[in-house]
Amino acid sequence: MRQVLAGTQALEFRQAGDDAGRYSWIDAVLRRVDYRQLGRPDRGVVLAYLRHLSGYSRATVTRLVSRWMARKPLVKQYRAPEHAFARRYTAVDVALLAEVDRAMGTLSGPATACVLRRQRDVFGDARFERLGSIPVGHLYNLRNSAAYRNRRVLQTKTRPTKAVTIGTRKAPAPEGRPGFVRIDSVHQGDLDGTKVPVSHQRGRLRHPVGGVTATVQTISGTHLLPVIEQMLEQFPFTILGFHADNGSEYVNHNVARMLEKLRIEFTRSRPRHSNDNGLAETKSGAVVRKMFGYGHIPQHHAAHFNTFCVEFLNPFLNFHRPCLFSTDVPDPAKPGRIRRKYDPKDVMTPLDKLASLPDAETFLREGITLDELRQLACALTDLQAAGELNEARAALFRRVDKRTA
């Protein structure tokens, strides 16, 4: 037996008689090896041998050997019930139910039971003698049966989705001009499966790379639309373009009407072009995650975080935090292609980048001048602004920890 178990050749039990034959073979093996007189290690070998050749599970073999040890015959101890439940609803009733569902469009269970009852009682249709009194629960059992599904399987072609006409699918083309916003959402952590945390909206500009961050309680029209309007008002120049991904929080008629009212071009990312909104995606990690982390923030704190963004974070990002700006140069290895080169001399704040553009004053909104923006930027040094930002952030999170403790 040990040699059989150690072998690599597949063996299969072929004695006729199905279970009865296997039972008699197990009885013969146990008698031949005198199983009652074997020690514990040898008994383990015999049990493994029986499992290997009989095809039974370990539990079945153990049960059969225990029965043999108790000197009980190895015979089947189960049989078909003598008094099986009578079948009330026949295949004809299942076919009739499928016909009713096909004609009525598969109504709910109570409505279908009413139809069956009316067919029997009101219209006197003898075919509904049994179905007329079927319980609603058992009606669903018939619908789940294989006979019903074979008759009522609906196979339709895939319906193409309707093209969304909101916005234009194309890459944003600022061409060096300020005023083209790229926006993205950053969710601020979940708690115990809760999927409605606060969300940070990050609006970035391609040229110059300024930015505005805002916090919204939920991504819905009630909370999101006013925040988008607030973000657009914080930019000192006229907004010409608004680019977003294909999320429904931006691609909807409310946002489209607002942008149309402001005469702002609405574009959204193209399929299989991940770089269309790549700038906003990268800034989500460099700014939002670095500032707020990944932890859960309850929704009722969204207004306090939004105030922090307006009063401390956004002025710091645009007046005091230097950014790297690229210069487009031809690629010598690939004619017709350009490369973006980042030189140390091109590192400056977004306000300095705006001031360095030709005719920068022409891009500003009415009533805003570069001198006023410079005065706001010079009110604090970069280190003082960073210190105030960190103190305000620490106080904000202390408030969150205290209110949620």
SS3 content of the chain, % helix, strand, coil (to 5): 50, 15, 35
Please write the tens of the pLDDT for every residue from 361-388: 888 888 888 899 999 988 888 888 889 9
Query: Rounded to a whole number, what is the distance in angstroms from the first to the last CA of the chain?
Result: 67
Single-letter residue type at 10: A
Close Cβ partners of 97 (under 8 Å, ≥ 6 residues apart):
112, 116, 131, 139, 142, 143, 148
CB 200, CB 291: distance < 8 Å: no
Sequence-separated (6 or more) residues with CB below 8 Å from residue 33: 42, 46
The pair phi, psi for residue 133, each rounded to 5°, is -120, 20
Contact 305, 201 (CB under 8 A): no
Instruction: Give CA–CA dist 240/363, Å, rounded.
Output: 10
* 316 burial level (CB within 10 Å; 0-12, 13-18, 19+): buried
- Determine the pLDDT at residue 395: 92
Peptide bond between residue 178 and the one before it cis (omega within 30 degrees of 0): no
Condensed to tens digits (0 to 9), the pLDDT of residues 200-259 reads 665 554 444 467 888 887 777 777 888 888 888 888 888 888 888 888 888 888 888 889
Q: What is the dihedral of CA 281, 274, 342, 325, to 10 degrees?
A: -50
Q: Cβ-count burial of 345 within 10 angstroms (0-12 exposed, 13-18 middle, 19+ buried)? A: exposed
Residue 116: its pLDDT value, please? 92
Ranges of residues in the chain with a pLDDT under 50 are 15-16, 194-197, 205-209
Q: For residue 94, count other CB atoms closer than 10 A to its CB.
A: 21
Range(s) of the chain covered by CATH 3.30.420.10: 177-404
Pairing of strands 241-244, 180-187: parallel
Report d(CA 40, CA 23) in Å as an integer: 23
What pLDDT does residue 30 have? 92
> What contacts 229, CB < 8 A, 6 or more positions away?
258
Q: Residue 186: is it exposed, middle or buried by C-beta count within 10 angstroms (0-12/13-18/19+)?
A: buried
State the fold for domain 177-404.
Answer: Nucleotidyltransferase; domain 5 (3.30.420)
